[in-house]
Amino acid sequence: MLSRIAESLFWIGRYVERADDTARILDVHVQRLSEDPFAEEQIACRSLLAIMDHPAPPAEELVDRDLVVRLLARDRVNPSSIAGALVAARENARRAREIVSTELWECLNTTRNEVSTMAPSLIPHDFFAWVRQRAAVVAGIMDSATSRDATWHFMILGRSIERADMTARLVTTQARLGAAGPGWTTLLRSCGAHEAFLRAYRGRADDDRAAGFLLRDPLFPRSIVAALTQADAALRDLEPAEAGRGAGDEARRELGIVRTELEYARLEDLLERLPEVLERVQLACARASDAVKDRYFPAAATTAWVGEAL
Full-model pTM: 0.91
Task: Specify the pLDDT at position 42.
Answer: 86
pLDDT of residue 310: 39
pLDDT at residue 287 in the model: 96
pLDDT at 298: 82
Share of the chain above pLDDT 70, in %: 92
Residue 308, pLDDT score:
43
Q: Where are the domains of the chain?
A: 1-146, 147-299
Q: Hey, which of 10-24, 32-46, 171-185, 189-203 has the most confident mean pLDDT?
A: 10-24
* Mean pLDDT calculated for residue range 294-299: 85
200-221 per-position pLDDT tens digit: 888 777 888 999 999 999 999 9
Which of 57-61, 66-70, 139-143 is the least confident region? Answer: 57-61
**pLDDT at residue 135 greater than cutoff 70:** yes
Please, which residues have CB within 8 angstroms of residue 44's CB and are 6 or more apart in sequence? 29, 32, 33, 177, 180
Mean of all residue pLDDT scores within the chain: 88
State the pLDDT confidence band at 123, using cuts at 50, 70 and 90: very high
Position 305 scores a pLDDT of 45
pLDDT grade, residue 179 (50/70/90)? Answer: low
Would you say residue 295 has pLDDT above 80? yes
